[in-house]
Amino acid sequence: MTLELKGITKRFGTFTANDRINLKIEAGEIHCLLGENGAGKSTMMNVLYGLYQAEEGEILIDGKPQRFQGPGDAMRAGIGMVHQHFMLIPVFTVAENVLLGHERELGGLKGARKAVVELSKRFGFDIDPDALVQDLPVGVQQRVEIIKALSLDARVLVFDEPTAVLTPQETDELMNVMRQLRDDGTAIVFITHKLREVREVADRITVIRLGKIVGSAEPTASSNELASLMVGRDVSLTVDKDDAKFTDKKLEVTVLTVLDRIGQKVVNDVSFEVRGGEVLCIAGVQGNGQTELTEAIIGLEKPASGSISLSGRRLTGKSVREVLDSGVGFVPEDRKVDGLVSEFSVSENIMLDRYKGAPFVKAGTIDFATRNEFAEQAKTDYDVRAQSIHSPAGSLSGGNQQKVVLARELGRKLELFVASQPTRGLDVGSIEFVHKQIIATRDTGIPVVVVSTELDEVIGLADRIAVMYRGGIVGIVPADTDREDLGLMMAGEMPEHLKAAAEEAAA
């Protein structure tokens, strides 16, 4: 089966998400679509899958034009998709999820169970058709998504950022599954922005930037070459930093427990210290308590027990305002919801939480000249690419929005800096800038905490690494810990040979 997209153009109002895209997918190959977040990769695949209708262009299968009015049409034509966020019902069994919406094609629950057993055996998945999806590890849930597509005879399988919620070991297993599918004659479209994965598994690489195909590359291309294609300029993918120089400042978190709304422990007896002049990176698959931990530090979450102190001053129980006034800078994981007011201007966002006293308020009145002067300087220092400081923050790209948040948070006198997913959704160039700012902040001698699900980022930034799993810390290890060992820790397993190093790193 050969699949072609010819001249595909998709617009949203005046914004062109895909601009005359030409792409050819062959059977028995893994074709990687590489591009930054927002480049138009997922939009293109949603057109292919019938979720969007293109304004121009056509889709051809074996040379014959196709018209997909919805996913059902695409599935009947042999196209399946494994979504970044799984389309499964947790309280249903594997077989029930596979059957859902395809009762006629599969012949009821008996047919679905048979399909699960046969496909599991064929690809070595070892999946019980009667297991509840909610009881399965994330990597196995993804295999259920794959079985769901294959049970409908998918000959083209689209994986949309499939490793976002996987540990390194689960990612390796997925790569093996993709190779098996390829060798079985299935065409694989692998959408990603992760250069390491592309180089490991791709047969062909197509690069998309700003909605256009800008080139292709061989899997032998270096990460720097691929990154340059993605952003259109040379970038550095390594984080340059000197050895940590410790100071007396210190963040101490002691047996901290945080409960969710129904009383479940989402942070469970967590203890660690971060010294001034070092970066502690907190690694782990999303949803293991990292968000609640950082929100407890900043005062957004009230701990059920335990304590947080900064250089001997207790932060536990303080309001967000009081924590910020204590010299804590905080970059939230969702900048659009928690970090900015989209309707406010760049200059207004830069002074958002500094509306009391000098330098922006004098005699109870905002000093607009001082505010605008500060904002202009921040715009220059942080390379915020906005029309002016009076442009709404919501009109900026994700990378420039993050720069506005950084300018505000790093523009105060800091005793502690906490950044949660600081580069999520950013282009490679913006990531490089954010990393430099984090290291520069560390080098001022304050404690820095960075939460990230990106292992490359964790390894590049960290002086020490803490790994969280199900609300607890599995261990705190040196920054040069092997990625495979970190992957085991992300799955809740502490390698025996690391225990001594972990005790030393935690001390």
Q: What is the pTM of this model?
A: 0.76
Given a contact cutoff of 8 angstroms between Cβ atoms, the answer to whether 92 and 136 are in contact is no
Beta strands 416-420 and 448-451: pairing type?
parallel
The SS3 assignment for 335 reads helix
pLDDT of residue 471: 95
pLDDT of residue 352: 86
d(CA 245, CA 160): 42
Nearest Cα residue to 297 out of 437, 401, 419:
419
Q: What is the full per-residue pLDDT of the chain (507 aa) written as tens digits?
A: 899 999 999 998 888 999 999 999 999 999 999 887 778 888 898 999 999 999 999 999 999 999 999 998 999 999 999 887 788 999 999 999 999 988 888 889 999 999 999 999 988 888 999 999 999 888 889 899 999 988 888 899 999 888 877 788 888 888 999 999 999 999 999 998 888 889 999 999 999 998 999 999 999 998 888 888 888 888 777 888 999 999 999 999 999 999 998 899 999 999 999 999 999 999 998 889 999 999 999 999 999 999 999 999 999 999 999 999 999 999 998 888 899 999 999 999 988 887 777 788 888 888 899 999 999 999 998 888 888 999 999 888 777 888 899 999 988 899 999 999 998 777 777 788 889 999 999 999 999 999 998 898 999 999 999 999 999 999 999 999 999 999 999 989 999 888 777 777 776
pLDDT of residue 445: 97
Neighbours of 344 (CB within 10 A): 16
pLDDT of residue 35: 85
The SS3 assignment for 213 reads strand
DSSP state of 429: H
- Distance set, CA 232 to CA 158, 224, 383 (Å): 26, 11, 17
Residue 256 Ramachandran class (φ > 0 left, ψ -120 to 50 alpha, else beta): beta
Which residues have a Cβ under 8 Å from the Cβ of 156 and sit 6 or more positions away?
A: 1, 3, 25, 78, 79, 80, 186, 187, 188, 189
List, as own/partner pairs, every contact residues 502-505 make where C-beta atoms lie below 8 angstroms and the sequence separation is at least 24, other chains included.
502/475, 502/476, 502/477, 504/478, 505/464, 505/476, 505/477, 505/478
| All domains in the chain, ordered by first residue | 2-231 (3.40.50.300), 247-506 (3.40.50.300)
pLDDT of residue 507: 64
Q: Which residues pair with 99 in a beta bridge?
A: none
Nearest Cα residue to 408 out of 331, 320, 461, 321:
331
